[in-house]
């Protein structure tokens, strides 16, 4: 994107926030969740507040980011650098501004200690919990964001392809995880969105296994769940392989999970309640007799964070919107034996969807 397009995008996002503030009868919003700060300003530092008021937006950060902040945020957002405490600077900016006293804060992310500090620094302000206001806006991705997520998917798939050449009997889960991280970095991942999960044999039945010392044996399932990050945006995908020829039970549960993925993807489109997508996957698994072997939700939004809105589970109240990017990751876990999980990344659209992941889903005998 050209700089002016970037600024247009940020201006549009700030206007969306102001519309939401108006609907919520708030006079201003203090954004503290750093992915939200980044989405609205482009600032990538690790300490900042963004104060959004009807006539202005001010990024408040400390002296370490003096140069970086002015380079990243462009002219449409003021930058306020402080050598002391950010809370006192928030109070100063609010006093200087002319917005009313009702200021929203991000109650899902602000620490209790920080909320108290704000109360002490800004005596005249009526702080109101704003809920996940910016998170809701962020859940609908524009074409540039979808392109970044798509790049992160391609980086991950290229690293996975490289990794598979190194899988052999006797290698440990931990060595494979280290190798995967190395290859992800080589392929262009800026950082790890989360520690990769590499789980083999019976450990593949543990949904969030940490790679350990266990070594691979003939006939083991090998579950790999990992992602890459490009331009701040994450990918998140899972594949399950088998070392050597698969056993009948492995083929069976892999077939069930593949059908669940297919049905859930077919149900993903704008206007559909997210819980229906979960239901589509869950019904396939339940009908095959494994209903009690799939204990987590079917998916989640992915973007600047690896887990964000909307939720795709049985309790979700979200309705999919065009531009939502979600994972579809049903599984069957058989304790003591092994598990299969497959995870795809899908963009919901009007009357359809686009699957960003392309790595084959088959059991992939290694």
- Binding status of residue 313 toward Zn ion by CB under 5 A: no
Task: Tell me the closest approach of the beta carbon of residue 229 to Zn ion, in angstroms.
Answer: 13
236 makes contact with Zn ion (CB under 5 A) = yes
The whole-angstrom separation of Cα 346 and Cα 343 is 10
Q: Which C-beta is closer to Zn ion: that of 104 or that of 196?
A: 196
Q: How would you write the chain as a 3-class SS string?
A: CCHHHHHHHHHHHHHHHHHHHHHCCCCEEEECCHHHHHHHHCCCCCCEEEEEECCEEEEEEEHHHHHHHHHHHCCCCEEEEECCCHHHHHHHHHHHCCCCCEEEECCCCCCHHHHHHHHHHCCCCEEEECCCHHHHHHCECCHHHHHHHHHHHHHHHHHHHHHHCCCCCCCEHHHHHHHHHHHHHHHCCCCCCCCCEEEEHHHHHCCCCCCCCCECCCCCEEEEEECCEECCEECCEEEEEECCCCCHHHHHHHHHHHHHHHHHHHHCCCCCEHHHHHHHHHHHHHHCCCHHHCCCCCEEECCCCCCEEEEECCCCCCECCCCEEEEECCEEEECCCEEEECEEEEEEECCEEEECCCCCCCCCEC
Q: How far is the CB of 46 from Zn ion (least distance, A)?
A: 24
Over the window 261 to 280, marking each residue x when it contacts Zn ion by CB under 5 A and - when it does not, the resulting string is --------------------
Minimum CB distance to Zn ion, residue 320 (Å) = 16
357 in Cβ contact with 153 (< 8 Å): yes
List 34, 327, 356, 361, residue binding Zn ion (CB under 5 A): 327
Closest distance of CB 18 from Zn ion, Å: 32
Nearer to Zn ion (CB atom), residue 101 or residue 358: 358
Q: Which tokens in the block code for residue 357?
A: 């992941």
Q: How far is the CB of 300 from Zn ion (least distance, A)?
A: 6
Which stretch in 25-33, 64-72, 86-94, 228-236 sits in contact with Zn ion by CB under 5 A?
228-236
Binding status of residue 225 toward Zn ion by CB under 5 A? yes
Stretch that binds Zn ion, among 131-139, 167-175, 183-191, 217-225 (CB under 5 A): 217-225
CB of 306 to Zn ion, least distance (A): 7
Of residues 173 and 343, the one with the C-beta less far from Zn ion: 343
Of 297 and 338, which CB lies nearer to Zn ion in the complex structure? 297
Q: Is 308 in the site for Zn ion (CB under 5 A)?
A: no
**Least Å from the CB of residue 240 to Zn ion:** 12
Query: How far apart are CB 177 and Zn ion at their closest, in Å?
Result: 14
Number of amino acids touching Zn ion (CB under 5 A): 4
Segment near Zn ion (CB under 5 A); pick from 47-55, 176-184, 220-228, 331-339: 220-228
**Closer to Zn ion by Cβ: residue 242 or 328:** 328
Question: Per CB under 5 A, which region of 65-73, 163-171, 271-279, 325-333 contacts Zn ion?
Answer: 325-333
Binding site for Zn ion (CB under 5 A): 225, 236, 327, 343
């Amino acid at each position: 994107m050209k700089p002016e397009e970037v600024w247009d995008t940020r201006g549009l996002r700030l206007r969306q926030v102001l519309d939401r503030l108006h609907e919520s009868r708030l006079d201003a919003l203090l954004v503290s969740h750093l992915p939200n700060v980044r989405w609205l300003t482009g600032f990538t530092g690790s300490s900042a507040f963004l104060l959004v008021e009807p006539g202005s937006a001010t990024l408040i950060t400390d002296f370490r980011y003096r140069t970086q902040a002015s380079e990243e945020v462009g002219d449409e957002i003021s930058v306020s650098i402080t050598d002391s405490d950010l809370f006192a600077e928030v109070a100063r900016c609010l006093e200087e501004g002319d917005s009313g006293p009702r200021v929203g804060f991000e109650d899902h992310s602000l620490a209790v200690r920080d909320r108290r500090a704000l109360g002490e620094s800004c005596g005249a302000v009526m702080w109101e919990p704003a809920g996940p206001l910016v998170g809701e806006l962020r859940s609908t991705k524009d074409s540039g964001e979808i392109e970044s997520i798509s790049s992160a998917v391609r980086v991950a798939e290229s690293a996975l392809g490289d990794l598979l050449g190194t899988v052999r009997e006797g290698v440990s889960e931990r060595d494979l995880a280290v190798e995967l991280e190395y290859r992800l970095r080589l392929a262009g991942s800026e950082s790890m969105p989360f520690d990769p999960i590499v789980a083999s044999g019976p450990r593949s039945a543990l949904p969030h296994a940490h790679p350990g010392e266990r070594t691979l044996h003939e006939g083991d399932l090998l579950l790999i769940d990992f992602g890459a990050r490009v331009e701040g945006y994450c990918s998140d995908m899972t594949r399950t392989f088998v070392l050597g020829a698969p056993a009948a039970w492995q083929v069976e549960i892999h077939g069930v999970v593949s059908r669940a993925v297919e049905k859930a993807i077919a149900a993903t489109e704008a206007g559909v309640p997210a819980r229906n997508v979960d239901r589509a996957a869950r019904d396939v698994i339940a009908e095959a007799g494994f209903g009690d072997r799939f204990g987590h939700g079917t998916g989640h939004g992915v973007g600047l964070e690896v887990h964000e809105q909307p939720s795709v589970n049985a309790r979700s109240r979200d309705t999919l919107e065009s531009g939502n990017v979600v994972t579809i990751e049903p599984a069957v876990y058989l304790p003591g034996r092994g598990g299969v999980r497959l995870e795809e990344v899908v963009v919901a659209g009007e009357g359809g969807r686009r699957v960003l992941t392309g790595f084959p889903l088959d059991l992939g005998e290694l």
